[in-house]
Structure 1
Amino acid sequence: MENYEDTDGSANSASVSIEVVEQLAAAENTDPRDLPPLFPIIDLELLDTLIESGSSNIMVCFSANGHNITVVGDGTVNITPR
């Protein structure tokens, strides 16, 4: 079982939605442009706004493409296979 997590702080330099897409693509060993849209599952713009609010008490969890995805208020993204 592989676990993909932002540990280099790159989520702080890019939007968290981009980080989610890049990590999900890495987990699936594919190009981010080849992933199906996530909008039916989660509104990525709203996710960015929520995380950018600065509250460290936020945790958003959802499932997509056979993976559990967790995003916390500090911008950390954790993706694990279901």
Structure 2
Amino acid sequence: MDHTRSSDTPMTVAVVEAVSSFENCDPTDLPPLYDTLDADALDALFETDGGRGCTVSFPFSDSHVTIENGERIVVEAPETTSMRP
């Protein structure tokens, strides 16, 4: 599933929205994103210049998330990606 973040939405909020939509659940049913990664650092990475040219991937909840260029968020089931330890 692809999700496009608007530039005024913090990346952490956009990720939670995208994953909750993909997993068909309420955002409050997801584990805290800060248990997976440094949420402040994620927002800061995409705040300065929008994250153009930057790609970040990580597992979250029951999904695998890839953020591309600060706009496109791809959420997939973990078995459809090749996750590295």
Q: Give the shorter-chain TM-score range.
A: 0.7 to 0.9
From 46, 50, 64, give the equivalent of 1:68: 64
- Cα drift, residue 66 of structure 1: 2.2
Listed as ranges, the matches of 1:1-82 within 5 Å are: 4-7=1-4, 10-54=5-49, 55-82=51-78
| Identity level (%) | 27
| Residue aligned with 1:60, SS | strand
Gaps of 5+ in 2: 79-85
Structure 1 unmatched runs, 5+ = none
- Could you tell me the TM-score, scaled by structure 1's length? 0.80
Following TM superposition, where does structure 1 have runs of at least 4 consecutive aligned residues deviating by more than 3 angstroms? none
Give me the TM-score of the superposition, normalised by structure 2. Answer: 0.78
1:67–1:81 contact (8 Å) kept in structure 2 = yes
